[in-house]
Amino acid sequence: MTLIEGSATVSRELELNPEPGILVESLRDIGYSFQSALADIVDNSLAARATKIELFALPMQKSGFMVGIIDNGAGLRRNDLLQAMRLGSSNPRDTRVQGDLGRFGLGLKTASFSQCRRLTVLSRKDGQTSAFCWDLDEVVKNNQWNIIELTDISSLQWLEKLGESGTLVLWEKVDRIAGSRKLQSGNIERLVSEAQTHLSLTFHRFIEGSHGLRKVSIWFNGYQLQPLDPFNTDNPATQAGALEKIMQNVTLQSFTLPHASRYEDAAEYVKYGLPGGYQQNQGVYLYRANRLIIHGTWFGITKKLPQTQLCRVCLDIGIEEDESWKIDVKKTSAQLPDDVRERIKKLMVTIGSPSRRVYRRRTAALTSPDAYPIWRRYEKDGKVFYEIASEHPVIGEFRSSLDSEKRRCFDSLLSFIGTTFPLEALTYDLSNDADKVTMEDMSHEDFVDAARAFSERLMRKENMGTDDVVAIMKVIPPFKSRWSEAALVLGVDE
């Protein structure tokens, strides 16, 4: 207790330490996901200048689901490792060295605690190997911040993979992954696959060795991760805007991704859409020290529209900007400073225009009354021919439901119908009394089936949004003359 005398009052300072058992349980609920927790550990490996990082997430017969992260970085001596295991091991306001991906001195601990109740870290440097362990059950039981120093490390999982220098982070008693001891193989595969994609995206610059970075190989359960560049800069159809320096330590560059028709196959197109698809992942991609922090957000500046779904904006900030951007402990959220927000607002018109032009040109062609004809007209050897357009969405949707043999028979049927078109009779009737020539209306049931097949084909095969499909169907037959029925099928209000 300390007495403090002021000009008008006398007060006392009382030491009021937090309850270890309560605080440590609270720290587990900061909000990490499995993949964001792994990314935080990888940050430490990169800060240690590792060139190879191996991750394992596997069910063990005796000890349940376990996670290990091993790197060949610089490693830590005993006292440095002990300090690194302290909660709040560094001051967030201290000057950081260039490329330092940490800030609060909490990431290793809070990320690990969010997933497991026993964290062991072993590090090797200059021939010295040290290991410490936080066991949260012991902290709660004794209600004390007592860390365990391991003197016998021979039984540690994945120890044999550690080289002459580097660090092993081991998660045991993993209890936050949907009943980890009872995880089925399918769930594990999904969990690992999602984490692999997340890491491939978050650290793609490090894996590529781009932006002046040393190349780092990252392996996950024996699979080497490939970089996932959200801007698809290797595709010649990607449109890149000029690199602009908005303010000190902040640069911006806009990208318009290629339309689906400019990809070699559907799998590649889906890959660069990222989980959730193009419309969900449009927006700002914020990098801090070349590490992706946040992606797919306009920070409330504008809505995510189908017309701008190909637009992605790269924002790079330096580590000096942490406080002004309010980077959180998990490195999964940030806030735009007011001056940057205002600048992006002014840039929005030009940022989104290439993406809008891609879809405007395409939509203008598709919303022509002549788009998607059932009968195709073409000229050959000085003559005019008509044939059924087998690629029409309604026909194409039906064809795709057939097996190869039935599809061949169906194509033969279309050819047969096309060649037996009553051209002479139609010409005679039109020349005598064109007003009498008309077509029988479809039944309501047949019309609904056709409208549903048409819209689903465009949405699934051509990746169109509802707004684009509505614009097309409003102007082409037979939907334009029976639009109220078509609107009900699409579920839109008119």
pLDDT digits (tens, 9 = 90+) for 166-213: 999 999 999 887 544 556 666 888 899 999 999 999 999 999 999 999
Residue 1: inside a domain: no
CA R_g for the chain = 31
Asked if 337 and 258 sit in the same domain, the reply is: yes
Question: What is residue 235's DSSP assignment?
Answer: S
Domain count of the fold of the chain: 3
Q: Which domain holds residue 314?
A: 239-366
Question: What is residue 213's DSSP assignment?
Answer: P
Q: Tens digit of pLDDT for each residue in 437-467?
A: 788 888 988 888 888 888 888 887 777 778 7
pLDDT for residue 361? 55
Asked if 44 and 184 sit in the same domain, the reply is: yes
Per-range mean pLDDT, top range of 100-109, 191-200, 362-371, 398-407: 191-200
What is the distance between the alpha carbons of residues 477 and 3, in angstroms, rounded to a whole number? 88
Last residue of a domain, one of 326, 345, 366: 366
pLDDT for residue 96? 45
pLDDT for residue 491? 81
Residue range 129-140: mean pLDDT, rounded: 96
User: CATH number for the domain including 349?
Assistant: 3.30.230
What is the distance between the alpha carbons of residues 1 and 437, in angstroms, rounded to a whole number? 102
Asked if 403 and 446 sit in the same domain, the reply is: yes
Residue 11: inside a domain: no
Asked if 348 and 404 sit in the same domain, the reply is: no
Contacts 24+ apart (CB under 8 A), 294-303: 294/332, 294/333, 294/334, 295/201, 295/230, 299/335, 299/336, 299/341, 299/344, 301/341, 301/344, 301/345, 301/348, 302/348, 302/352
Asked if 246 and 350 sit in the same domain, the reply is: yes
Residue 311 makes CB contacts below 8 A (sequence gap 6+) with 254, 255, 256, 257, 282, 283, 351, 352, 354, 355
Question: Is the pLDDT confidence value at 351 over 90?
Answer: no
pLDDT for residue 30? 85
Asked if 202 and 300 sit in the same domain, the reply is: no
Residue 334: inside a domain: yes
The residues facing 115 across adjacent strands are none
Asked if 206 and 294 sit in the same domain, the reply is: no
Asked if 341 and 266 sit in the same domain, the reply is: yes
Asked if 93 and 174 sit in the same domain, the reply is: yes
Asked if 340 and 211 sit in the same domain, the reply is: no
* Higher per-residue confidence, 18 vs 433: 18
Question: Is the pLDDT confidence value at 99 over 50?
Answer: no
Asked if 250 and 349 sit in the same domain, the reply is: yes
Percent above pLDDT 90 for the chain: 43
pLDDT for residue 359? 55
Asked if 431 and 346 sit in the same domain, the reply is: no
Q: Tens digit of pLDDT for each residue in 406-432?
A: 988 998 898 888 888 888 887 777 667
pLDDT for residue 356? 58
Mean pLDDT of the chain, nearest integer: 85
Residue 418: inside a domain: yes
Residue 234: inside a domain: no
Question: Is the pLDDT confidence value at 101 over 80?
Answer: no
Residue 81: inside a domain: yes
